[in-house]
Structure 1
Amino acid sequence: MKTVYLIRHAHSVYTPDERSRPLSDAGKADAWRVADLLEQEEIGEIWSSPYLRSVQTVEKLAERIGQPIRLQEGFRERLLSDGPVGDFEDSVRRLWDEPEHALPGGESNRMATIRGMEALRGVLASSRSSRIAVGTHGNIMAMMMNALYGSFGYEFWRGLEMPDIYKLSFGKEGRYKGAKRIWRR
């Protein structure tokens, strides 16, 4: 049996550069709270999206438990578009309603889900640890969870906090068994 802690990154300072967007002061404080909460969970490996805000959200935990952060491109956020998006909420809703649809230069929900699930399956298969933390992002997190169970859609995504943590259980052969939210403000 394996447990994966999917961790949506803490609040970040907006910059147009997705990869180097840092945590805000509030996000940095919440990263300490993430470490406080997960330090007792006996986590043996930490993986993260390569985006700075995701890495910063799990780095205090990594320091406390003495584990490196392993970067996994598959856990990066979905590329919404190659340019500005007029109405963010409407655009994201349409992508959830039409999983094959993609905005210009962006990823459809289907494409991003496949990428995220390949990364998750790879981590589950290769990890020697039974407890794994994964720093990631809201959209890709919701899409991976939706692929596992089918009830984590657009409204679930909208209800996620920054940060947020879901504990996912997997049985034999990586079979999904359930999810439980463990983050509470």
Structure 2
Amino acid sequence: MTTKIYLVRHAQSKYVPHDDDFHRPLSKKGKEDVEKITKYFKKVNINRVLSSPYTRAVHTIEGVANTKGLDIELIDDFRERKVSNKYLDDKEFSKFVKHQWEDFNYFLEGGESLKEVQERGIKALKTVVEENEGKSIIIGTHGTWLGLILNYFDKKYDYEFWKSIKMPDMFLLSFEEENIKSIKQIKF
């Protein structure tokens, strides 16, 4: 039986430097894209809706959950990586991200390495696959997390790929038992 996992990167959010990253709401464009995601899933059978606890991830898949009459189950290990205890400006952040993708063990004080994020993400994803054989599940998450999950299964999903992930973006991972069979980007 095929288990289908739809990884949905959150829609565009309102970003303000030094803002509360956890509670960041969707932008106007983000809310418009949520309608497109919801419309796409109207004809798709979905058994469960899971999400990172971050507001922007939850709100991105909320329409699907409401349409299907399903609760959104929050899974902390689907969250975005913690960068650092201090704010990085755009230039510092770009340099930091490139360094992380070159060295998965690299991290800043108070932050997580990509290796840590990938390990916690894969462990959580494997649990979902094991517990839901033959079902279709949506996971609302983040760009780095999504990129690292795909990278685990195929190294072609690298830094350059990460830079290309849109807000929102969606990928379908198909599993037979616990083995990945395909990864497909979904256009909506």
**What is the TM-score when the length of structure 1 is the normalising length?**
0.95
Aligned twin of 1:28: 31
Identity %: 36
1:10·1:57 contact (CA, 8 Å) conserved in 2?
yes
Q: Which one-letter code corresponds to 1:176 in the other structure?
A: I
Alpha-carbon RMSD: 1.2
8 A Cα contact 2:3 2:133, kept in partner: no
SS in 1 for 2:171: strand
Residue of structure 2 aligned with 1:82, choices 78, 85, 91: 85
Superposed displacement of residue 32, structure 1: 0.9
Q: Residue 116 of structure 1: SS of its match in structure 2?
A: helix
Aligned-partner SS, 1:40:
coil
Aligned to 2:11: 10
Query: Do residues 182 (structure 1) and 183 (structure 2) align?
Result: no
Query: Deviation digits for residues 93-139 of structure 1, max 9, x if unmatched?
Result: 10010011111111001001011111111111222661110000000
Query: Contact between 1:100 and 1:109, CA under 8 Å: does it hold in 2?
Result: yes
Does 2:59 correspond to 1:56? yes
Specify the alignment match of 2:122 in structure 1: 117
How far off its partner does 1:17 sit?
1.0
Once the two structures are superposed, residues 50-107 of structure 1 have per-residue CA deviations (whole angstroms, 9 ceiling, x without a partner) of: 0000000000010111111000001000111111124211110100100111111110
Aligned to 2:132: 127
Structure 2, unpaired ranges of 5+: none
Q: Runs of 5+ in structure 1 lacking a partner?
A: none
- Alpha-carbon distance between aligned partners in 2 of 1:175 and 1:39, rounded to the nearest angstrom: 27
- 8 Å CA contact 2:3, 2:132 repeated in 1: no
Post-superposition, which runs of at least 4 consecutive aligned residues in structure 1 deviate over 4 A?
A: none
Between the aligned partners of 2:180 and 2:123, the Cα distance in structure 1 is 14
Q: How many pairs were matched up?
A: 183
Whether the aligned pair in 2 keeps the contact of 1:44 and 1:129 (CA below 8 Å) is no
Contact 1:45 1:129 (8 Å CA) reproduced: no
